[in-house]
Amino acid sequence: MSAPDKIAAKSPEDLTEVEAGEELARLAAEIAHHDAAYHQHDDPEISDADYDALRRRNEAIEVRFPGLVRDDSPSRRVGAAPSGAFGKVVHRVPMLSLSNAFDDQDVTDFWDRIAKFLSLKPEDEVVVTAEPKIDGLSASLRYEKGRFVQGATRGDGREGEDITENLRTIADIPGRLKGSHVPELFEVRGEVYMAHADFQALNGRQLADGRPPFANPRNAAAGSLRQLDPKITAGRPLHFFAYAWGEVSELPADTQSGVMEAFGQWGFVTNPLFRRCRSAAELLAFYREIGEMRATLGYDIDGVVYKVDRLDWQQRLGFVSRAPRWATAHKFPAEQAVTIVEKIEIQVGRTGALTPVARLTPITVGGVVVSNATLHNEDEIARKDVRIGDSVVIQRAGDVIPQIVSVIIDKRPENSEPYVFPETCPECGSHAVREINPRTGMPDAKRRCTGGLICPAQAVERLRHFVSRNAFDIEGLGEKQIAAFYADGWIHQPADIFHLEEREKPGLQMLRNREGWGETSARNLFKAVNARRHVELDRFIFALGIRHVGETTARLLARRYETLDHLEAEMIAAADRASEAWAALLDIDGIGEVVAEALVDFFAEAHNREVLQALRDAGVDPQPMAAQETGSPIAGKTIVFTGTLERMSRSEAKARAEQMGAKVSGSVSAKTDLVVAGPGAGSKLARAQALGVATITEDEWMEMAAQ
Ligand code: IVH
**CATH number, position 394:** 2.40.50.140
How far is residue 101 from each of residues 127, 283, 369, 607, measured CA to CA in Å?
A: 18, 12, 28, 53
Q: Which CATH number characterizes residue 475's domain?
A: 1.10.150.20
Q: Which CATH number characterizes residue 284's domain?
A: 3.30.470.30
The pLDDT value recorded for residue 650 is 76
Residue 200 lies in a domain: yes
Q: What is the pLDDT of residues 518-533, one digit of tens each?
A: 999 999 999 999 999 9
Ligand 1, atom nearest to 271 Cα = 15
Q: What is the pLDDT of residues 673-694, one digit of tens each?
A: 999 998 888 888 999 999 999 9
Q: Mean pLDDT, to the nearest integer, of 150-169? A: 92
Q: Within this chain, do residues 218 and 136 fall inside the same structural domain, yes or no?
A: yes
Q: How far does residue 98's CA lie from ligand 1's centre (Å)?
A: 7
Q: Mean pLDDT, to the nearest integer, of 278-294? A: 95
Q: What is the pLDDT of residues 695-706, one digit of tens each?
A: 999 889 988 887
Q: Tell me, what amino acid is at 388?
A: I
How far is residue 356 from each of residues 254, 313, 347, 403, measured CA to CA in Å?
A: 55, 50, 6, 12
Is residue 133 among the annotated active site residues?
yes
Q: Which helix (H) or strand (E) holds 368?
A: strand 368-374
The pLDDT value recorded for residue 117 is 95
**Please, which pLDDT band fits residue 82 given cuts at 50, 70 and 90?**
very low
pLDDT > 80? residue 651 = no
Ligand 1, atom nearest to 307 Cα = 1
Three-state SS for 361? strand
Residue 432 lies in a domain: no
pLDDT > 70? residue 333 = yes
Q: How far does residue 497's CA lie from ligand 1's centre (Å)?
A: 52
Q: What is the pLDDT of residues 102-114, one digit of tens each?
A: 899 999 999 999 9
* Whether the CB of 245 sits within 6 Å of ligand 1: no
**Please, which pLDDT band fits residue 367 given cuts at 50, 70 and 90?**
low
Given 562, 582, 617, the domain boundary residue is: 617
pLDDT > 50? residue 153 = yes
Q: What is the pLDDT of residues 249-263, one digit of tens each?
A: 999 999 999 999 999
Ligand 1, atom nearest to 131 Cα = 15
Q: Within this chain, do residues 276 and 252 fall inside the same structural domain, yes or no?
A: yes
pLDDT > 80? residue 299 = yes
Q: Within this chain, do residues 298 and 352 fall inside the same structural domain, yes or no?
A: no
Ligand 1, atom nearest to 138 Cα = 13
pLDDT > 60? residue 444 = yes
By C-alpha distance, which of 305, 268, 300 is closest to 283?
305
Q: In what order do the strands lie in the sheet with 638-642?
A: 663-665, 638-642, 674-677, 694-697
Q: Mean pLDDT, to the nearest integer, of 354-364? A: 91
The pLDDT value recorded for residue 41 is 53
Q: Within this chain, do residues 268 and 288 fall inside the same structural domain, yes or no?
A: yes
Q: Within this chain, do residues 260 and 295 fall inside the same structural domain, yes or no?
A: yes
Given 76, 108, 140, the domain boundary residue is: 76
Q: Which CATH number characterizes residue 38's domain?
A: 1.10.287.610
Most confident of 35-44, 58-67, 72-81, 312-321: 312-321
The active-site residue out of 133, 654, 663, 684 is 133
The pLDDT value recorded for residue 659 is 78
pLDDT > 60? residue 5 = yes
pLDDT > 60? residue 328 = yes
Q: What are the backbone angles phi and psi of residue 343, rounded to the nearest 5°?
A: -160, 170
The pLDDT value recorded for residue 79 is 40
The pLDDT value recorded for residue 648 is 77
408-413 long-range CB contacts below 8 Å, 24 or more apart?
Answer: 408/338, 412/387, 413/389
Q: Within this chain, do residues 404 and 457 fall inside the same structural domain, yes or no?
A: no
Q: Within this chain, do residues 170 and 221 fall inside the same structural domain, yes or no?
A: yes
Q: Mean pLDDT, to the nearest integer, of 447-454? A: 86
Q: Which of 141, 193, 243, 273 has most ligand 1 atoms within 8 Å of CB, for mutation? A: 243
Residues in contact with 223: Cβ distance below 8 Å, sequence separation at least 6, in sequence order: 59, 75, 214
Residue 133 lies in a domain: yes
Output the residue whose Cα is nearest ligand 1's atom 12: 133
pLDDT > 70? residue 484 = yes
Q: Mean pLDDT, to the nearest integer, of 59-85? A: 65
Greater pLDDT, 57 or 168: 168
Residue 342 lies in a domain: yes
Alpha carbon 536 to chain centroid distance? 33
What is the C-alpha to C-alpha distance for residues 365 and 615, in angstroms, rounded to an integer? 52
pLDDT > 70? residue 48 = no
What is the C-alpha to C-alpha distance for residues 553 and 551, in angstroms, rounded to an integer? 6
pLDDT > 70? residue 285 = yes
By C-alpha distance, which of 419, 449, 580, 658 is closest to 571?
580
The pLDDT value recorded for residue 652 is 76
Q: Evaluate whether 59 touches 220 at the Cβ level (below 8 Å).
A: no
Q: Within this chain, do residues 349 and 314 fall inside the same structural domain, yes or no?
A: no
Residue 400 lies in a domain: yes
Q: Within this chain, do residues 554 and 482 fall inside the same structural domain, yes or no?
A: yes
Q: Which CATH number characterizes residue 689's domain?
A: 3.40.50.10190
Q: What is the pLDDT of residues 599-640, one digit of tens each?
A: 999 999 888 999 999 999 999 999 998 766 667 888 888 899
What is the C-alpha to C-alpha distance for residues 272 and 205, in angstroms, rounded to an integer? 30
pLDDT > 70? residue 248 = yes
Give the domain extent around 687: 638-705
* Whether the CB of 97 sits within 6 Å of ligand 1: yes
Output the residue whose Cα is nearest ligand 1's atom 2: 96
* Whether the CB of 336 sits within 6 Å of ligand 1: no
Q: Which of 78, 93, 138, 156 has most ligand 1 atoms within 8 Å of CB, for mutation? A: 138
Q: What is the pLDDT of residues 171-204, one digit of tens each?
A: 999 999 999 889 999 999 999 999 989 988 998 8
Residue 84 lies in a domain: no
pLDDT > 60? residue 80 = no
Q: pLDDT exceeding 70 applies to what percent of the chain? A: 93
* Whether the CB of 290 sits within 6 Å of ligand 1: no
**How many domains, the chain?**
5
Q: Within this chain, do residues 301 and 351 fall inside the same structural domain, yes or no?
A: no
* Whether the CB of 192 sits within 6 Å of ligand 1: no
69-73, 211-215, 395-399 — which is least confidently predicted?
A: 395-399
**Please, which pLDDT band fits residue 208 given cuts at 50, 70 and 90?**
confident
* Whether the CB of 148 sits within 6 Å of ligand 1: no
What is the C-alpha to C-alpha distance for residues 323 and 329, in angstroms, rounded to an integer? 10
Greater pLDDT, 187 or 336: 187
What is the C-alpha to C-alpha distance for residues 362 and 360, in angstroms, rounded to an integer? 6
Beta-strand (E) ranges in 488-604? Answer: none
Predicted model pTM: 0.49
Residue 434 lies in a domain: no
18-27, 46-55, 86-95 — which is least confidently predicted?
A: 46-55
* Whether the CB of 133 sits within 6 Å of ligand 1: yes
Q: Tell me, what amino acid is at 131?
A: E
Given 331, 352, 379, the domain boundary residue is: 331
* Whether the CB of 22 sits within 6 Å of ligand 1: no
Q: Within this chain, do residues 327 and 183 fall inside the same structural domain, yes or no?
A: yes
Q: Within this chain, do residues 352 and 478 fall inside the same structural domain, yes or no?
A: no
What mean pLDDT, rounded, does the chain reach? 88
What is the C-alpha to C-alpha distance for residues 586 and 574, in angstroms, rounded to an integer? 10
What is the C-alpha to C-alpha distance for residues 4 and 19, in angstroms, rounded to an integer? 8
* Whether the CB of 188 sits within 6 Å of ligand 1: no
Bridge partners of 353, per DSSP, are: 448
* Whether the CB of 190 sits within 6 Å of ligand 1: no
Q: How far does residue 133's CA lie from ligand 1's centre (Å)?
A: 6
Burial class (CB in 10 A: 0-12, 13-18, 19+), 32: middle
pLDDT > 50? residue 501 = yes
Residue 92 lies in a domain: no
Q: Mean pLDDT, to the nearest integer, of 81-89? A: 66
Ligand 1, atom nearest to 137 Cα = 13
Q: Mean pLDDT, to the nearest integer, of 348-373? A: 85
73-82, 428-437, 471-480, 517-526 — which is least confidently predicted?
A: 73-82
Q: Are strands 319-320 and 323-324 parallel, antiparallel or unpaired?
A: antiparallel
Alpha carbon 527 to chain centroid distance? 36
